[in-house]
Structure 1
Amino acid sequence: MTPFETITQEARASRTVLIEAYESDGTVETREIEPYSLRPGAPGKSERLYGFCLKREAVRSWTVDNIVRAEPTGNEFAPRWPVEL
């Protein structure tokens, strides 16, 4: 299963996901997120995943191509917005 398939599966079940993704400085950051939606990226860029980052307590987005791993946590969440995945 690809990271994005894992994220989609967990989003539909209202469960959080641990993602590892490259940051703009090249480091890899791990975050637990509530996944919500996928939106087109800037011209020539891949799509962006939007979710609520529990570490930052804010909405964040990640370029799908930069997500290297996604792991289910089993932690349920009450959606703050409609899940569109």
Structure 2
Amino acid sequence: MHPRILTLFALFAVLMIFSCGCVEIGSTTRSAGNVLADVEIVEHTYLWGDDGPFTKLYDIRVRSFGVDVLNLKGVTRQEMEAIQAKYG
């Protein structure tokens, strides 16, 4: 194996060990609402997570009349979809 490839692999392995696999590679924010209420969803994509490679977790914030009704961090896609259906 080429020494540079081996070095890159070793650096990647060290990074994964020290970060416990929680290397975030991107996040997007979506929000929707009106004067009375709004829902904000932040999607985090991790290089490696509990569900394997490219795990996505969500932060959800639901506000009504400027007050937080729900503020969850690190929920799965299924939980996020259930919350969207409820507060939609």
Q: Same fold (TM over 0.5)?
A: no
TM-score by length of 1: 0.31
Compare CA radii of gyration and give the structure with the larger one: 2
TM-score by length of 2: 0.31
Of structures 1 and 2, the one with the larger relative CO (CA 8 A, separation 6+) is: 1
Report the structure, 1 or 2, having the larger helix content. 2
